[in-house]
A and B are shown apart, each in its own frame.
Chain A
């Protein structure tokens, strides 16, 4: 009962923000849920702050709101250095292919391509050294973790 009342008092909700064009995030964007949308089929680049420019514990979530079109620009989430570690978990059978993984070597770029439907999500947490990511995607080829 007390817990329920406390929840009513604080009513925790995440700040949700639509992105429709290239954007550079800053330390004040921590805790947000970003919906990635476009009106012309093209994705764009989201630039993360340097790990030293945010507080340890900075976190954000990116949800596909509008998938990019085939042969169009994908959504990319880019760190200033190769400090992203993590993996992509495909919801479906990989059919012999693995989901993306950094395999112990940091990368700069998360790419969410045209095979990412509405609802695919990438979560990032920063500890001041690395960004840790976990991507949950519908298809095994929907996302990549690379240093282009």
Chain B
């Protein structure tokens, strides 16, 4: 039965590729996975938590490593107007500690140029008060919250 339902509905995630220098996310982007495909980097703006439904969530995945020396990396800004309100952690595969906001809110998620690799990702969700970030990366230096 469940097999037939799966064939009927075939759930897939909505994936949107980003290759322009800037992107503004809005409340209708909830549930999407954004792949990041610009070696020079992208500046992404998230909405204020008050402007989205509680439960809004997105994922950002590195598809093109931000390797260009003059680039900026991938910056995900949550500074739109509601201050520092992002909490979260980064876990990494290399044998060193990942990052953590450790209870102090931040406002920028960065996939660092010349460090972030294809497949590194961060999940962001909000409860209407904070943004919660959960990042997975190969290298500890690849993904920061500042």
A8 to B3, CA, bound (A): 21
Q: What sequence of 0s and 1s flags, for each residue 30-58 of chain B, a beta carbon within 8 Å of any chain A beta carbon?
A: 00010100000000000000000001000
User: B residues engaging A (CB < 8 A)?
Assistant: 2-3, 5-7, 10-15, 17, 33, 35, 55, 61, 63, 65, 91-95, 117-121, 136-139
Q: What sequence of 0s and 1s flags, for each residue 44-70 of chain A, a beta carbon within 8 Å of any chain B beta carbon?
A: 000000000001111100000000000
A136 to B143, CA, bound (A): 18
Cβ contact within 8 Å between A31 and B93? no
Contact partner of A27 (CB less than 8 A), chosen from B5, B10, B63, B119, is B10
Residues of A within 8 A of B15 (CB): 56-57, 125, 127-128
A28 to B61, CA, bound (A): 24
Residues of B within 8 A of A55 (CB): 10, 12
20 cross-chain CB contacts under 8 A: A15-B2, A15-B3, A15-B5, A17-B3, A32-B6, A59-B13, A85-B117, A88-B93, A93-B95, A98-B93, A98-B94, A98-B95, A101-B94, A101-B117, A101-B138, A102-B117, A125-B15, A130-B119, A134-B121, A140-B95
